[in-house]
Amino acid sequence: MDQRLVLFAKTILTMDRPRPIEDGFVLIQGSRILRVGKRQDLYLTPSLRMLDLGDTILMPGLINAHCHLDFTNFKGKVKYQGGFREWLRQMAMKGREMTPADFKNSVRQGIEESLAYGTTTLCDVATSWESYPLLRRSPLRSFVFFELIDMAQPSTALYWKSFQDRLKHLVHSEPPTETCQWGLSPHTPFTVSKDMLQSVKRYLNDHRHLLTTIHVAESGEETWFFKKGAGPIAERLKVLNPDWAIPRGTTPVQYLSQNGWMPKLDIGVHLNEVNGNDLKILAKNRTVVVHCPGSHRYFGHKRFQYEKFKKQGITVCLGTDSLASNQSLSMFREMRLFQESYPQISAQEVLSLATVKPARALDGSHHLGQIKPGYLADLIGIPAPRTTNSKRTVYDHVVNYRKPVSFSMVHGQPKFRLASSKKK
């Protein structure tokens, strides 16, 4: 039987109860939380290991619902000059210059930065596939989505066959673990062909437990392509793949729906350009939407319609995207940027976008993102404020926190960190 550990902290934000617990405890056995409450209500037994975190705010570990660790070392290296398709082309060119060792270094840097800034669960879209073995051995909990793009492939059938062979080999030699699962990510509805979408859909019918994610409705160029079958995306596709079926009179969401993909899509990323009908489709299919505030700002996309998603009951969560279009992998920074755009949204709700909400997409049995009995012991701690300000809640303090975390735990395994002065 696993030994039990009790953590004490000045303040505990459970994200389950409406109010913080002052002078509280969390009792953990193995990878799970057994109990949470006030210190005075804990009956101590001699076999209990104890860790007093002192003046710490203890909360659920943060969940980064979308990133690409492959591109951590692309920070500041791919310039965006107003054309989204052109930016994607430059990313692909830069990617071709990378060696497997470069990708490994990039992934390692990303893992380190994510852990330092409080991420305990990370959804990674794997282009090079180097992240899967590294994340599998890392202290992070991860969901690795192997990416599919066939826009420049001479044969979709051959590409899909070699993708499956490679996948089979990889997951046979490195099977998923309790903290590392894998899924599939068709890149976008305009870089993946209709045939490819159908093949992946059939594969998913036989592998129903697999999670999926797709970048959808990110840019104005994508909207134009699906509406008119024209613009920079259409021009590029005609050069790369003259037989490509160019859509017209639709939207990216409706196109996926027409191809039977919406019931298969767990996590839709971006959704910056949606109309009323798209929102209804997303709500009906219970698609979880990831908004990436840093990346959104970098590209200067249309305002993300958070209020409309919320009104339709669509779950929204946050992600960093890659450092090719962002400055940091800190989810605290994403929360802060989100709050700058939506100052009327409470800091408690903002924190839910990096804890409770993404857990809905990732964990069917709801065992992530909250501190409550039966949940996984994925926790982080940050220093409590020295002075209290009646206008600022503890949630405001969290959302505006800029340093590395002082404590983290994934799957019941504690990690300690020295707070440095490096701010993000």
From residue 147 to residue 166, the character string flagging contacts with Zn ion as x (rule: CB under 5 A) and all else as - is: --------------------
- The amino acid occupying position 70 is D
CB 250 within 8 A of CB 305: no
Of the pair 89, 402, the CB lying nearest Zn ion is at 89
Of the pair 14, 295, the CB lying nearest Zn ion is at 295
124 sits near Zn ion (criterion: CB under 5 A) = no
Number of H helices and number of E strands within the chain?
15, 16
Q: How many residues bind Zn ion (CB under 5 A)?
A: 1
CB of 140 to Zn ion, least distance (A): 18
CB 331 within 8 A of CB 354: yes
Query: Which stretch, 97-105, 175-183, 232-240, 316-324, contacts Zn ion (CB under 5 A)?
Result: 316-324
Query: Which stretch, 145-153, 170-178, 296-304, 315-323, contacts Zn ion (CB under 5 A)?
Result: 315-323
**Residue 146: CB partners within 8 Å, gap ≥ 6?**
126, 129, 132, 163, 167, 182, 183, 184, 185
CA distances in angstroms from 304 to 197, 272, 281, listed in the order given = 27, 5, 17
Of the pair 31, 320, the CB lying nearest Zn ion is at 320
CB of 295 to Zn ion, least distance (A): 7
**Position of minimal CB gap to Zn ion:** 321
Burial class (CB in 10 A: 0-12, 13-18, 19+), 147: buried
From residue 263 to residue 302, the character string flagging contacts with Zn ion as x (rule: CB under 5 A) and all else as - is: ----------------------------------------
CB of 404 to Zn ion, least distance (A): 24
CB of 6 to Zn ion, least distance (A): 39
CB of 80 to Zn ion, least distance (A): 14
The partner residues of 51 in beta bridges, in order of sequence, read 7
- The residue from 130, 278, 321, 378 that contacts Zn ion (CB under 5 A) is 321
The partner residues of 407 in beta bridges, in order of sequence, read 381, 416
Of the pair 70, 396, the CB lying nearest Zn ion is at 70
Rounded to whole angstroms, the Cα distance separating 85 from 43 reads 61
Of the pair 221, 321, the CB lying nearest Zn ion is at 321
CB of 406 to Zn ion, least distance (A): 30
Burial class (CB in 10 A: 0-12, 13-18, 19+), 342: middle
Query: Which stretch, 12-20, 249-257, 283-291, 313-321, contacts Zn ion (CB under 5 A)?
Result: 313-321
Tokens representing residue 48 in the block: 């209990």
Rounded to whole angstroms, the Cα distance separating 393 from 391 reads 7
CA 58 to chain centre: 21
Residue 25 has, within 13 A of its CA and on its CB side, a CA count of 19
Of the pair 25, 87, the CB lying nearest Zn ion is at 87
- DSSP, collapsed to helix, strand or coil, labels residue 63 as strand
CB of 331 to Zn ion, least distance (A): 15
Tokens representing residue 80 in the block: 């965006």
CB of 269 to Zn ion, least distance (A): 6
Tell me phi and psi for residue 299, to 5 degrees: -85, -15
Of the pair 85, 403, the CB lying nearest Zn ion is at 85
Of the pair 113, 321, the CB lying nearest Zn ion is at 321
Rounded to whole angstroms, the Cα distance separating 406 from 10 reads 14
CB of 395 to Zn ion, least distance (A): 28
Q: Which residues bind Zn ion (CB under 5 A)?
A: 321
